[in-house]
Amino acid sequence: MSPGAVLRTLSVRVPATTANLGPGFDCLGMALQLFNTFTLRLGEPFAIRVTGEAAEVLPKTEDNAVIQAMDRLFAEAGASRAAMPSFALEVDNQIPVSSGLGSSASAIVGGLVLGNALLEAFVPDRKLSRDVLLRLATELEGHPDNVAPALYGGGVLAFHDRAGLRTTEVPIPPNLRFVAATPEFALPTELARRVLPKAYPRDEAVENVAQCARLMLALLKPDLDLLRGGVLDHFHEPYRKPLVPGADEVERAAMAAGAYAVTLSGAGPTLLAWCKPDVAVRVADEMTLAWRNAGTPCRALVLRPVHGETRAHWKFESTGDEV
């Protein structure tokens, strides 16, 4: 590299997400204030460096989910990674892996957004729309409830109709806080999906519709008292909670400390307590204590929703060498 040369870096911060929000199985999700950061350092030989959560186990080869997402995007656009400048990928991983907080969705969305920014810079006529990014992310993840809020921010309802896959914003009242209590064990999504039944009794399906309508009204009005007593679900939580030892005790502790409701975040094992700001720290403490009493160390974070689309940003850095 010549003296005084400039290194170009391209970075994106992708938020953690919580999927389902209780009864909104595979269609509701929300972005939370916890981030993975993905950075491309252009002009460097291909390499992947990972810091933070699970740094020692995440793939540092082309099997990495970020690279896989980029390659999928390039194929969709009729381009290729080989036609782009060489780069090293740096991953600062702050979202726990296999925790129900959208770690895989963040990698997929990060790769797609970075790849699309490269297209815009080097072959702008091949840049893809946000709708296409969502479709690709959904294909890679298998469902849109995590990837949609990771891409668009805020609360999101994703649904299919005759026009295809569509999303709409779900308003999250500003006086809500979320305590994400994550025990120190992983729950692979594949296992959590295998325990789900293929069919449900009609009365349970009807009740889930009612609970989802209740949740939407509570958020839209807003009337958070509608959430009191907990938001019930019959589609996934009764089957997944047995895979999370201590979940019932932790939920009871959160409710006793003043939480409106507790939902299983995605496939788990993270439990998400919905709270007023003035009780959130107490709820976090009581959830942590309850899990420790059940024999499991736990980390509890008080999080706000994150709003705004996920976008990549360029930065130019001098090497510091004299010309």
The reply to whether 301 sits in an annotated binding site is no
The reply to whether 103 sits in an annotated binding site is yes
The reply to whether 102 sits in an annotated binding site is yes
The reply to whether 22 sits in an annotated binding site is no
What domains lie within the chain, and their CATH numbers?
8-171+306-316 (3.30.230.10), 177-303 (3.30.70.890)
With a CB cutoff of 8 Å and minimum separation 6, the contacts of 5 are 318, 319, 321
CA distances 163 to 156, 167, 180, Å, are 18, 11, 35
Q: Which pLDDT belongs to residue 2? A: 47
The reply to whether 123 sits in an annotated binding site is no
Using one digit for the tens of pLDDT, what is the confidence trace for 58-93?
889 999 999 999 999 999 999 999 889 999 999 999
Q: Which pLDDT belongs to residue 323? A: 34
Q: Which pLDDT belongs to residue 322? A: 41
pLDDT band at 321 (very low <50, low <70, confident <90, very high): very low
How many whole angstroms separate alpha carbon 73 and alpha carbon 257? 46
The reply to whether 80 sits in an annotated binding site is no
Using one digit for the tens of pLDDT, what is the confidence trace for 141-192?
999 999 999 999 999 999 988 888 999 999 999 999 999 999 998 888 888 8
The reply to whether 213 sits in an annotated binding site is no
Among 9, 52, 35, CA closest to 153: 35
Amino acid sitting at position 31: A
* DSSP-derived secondary structure for 65-79: HHHHHHHHHHHHHT-
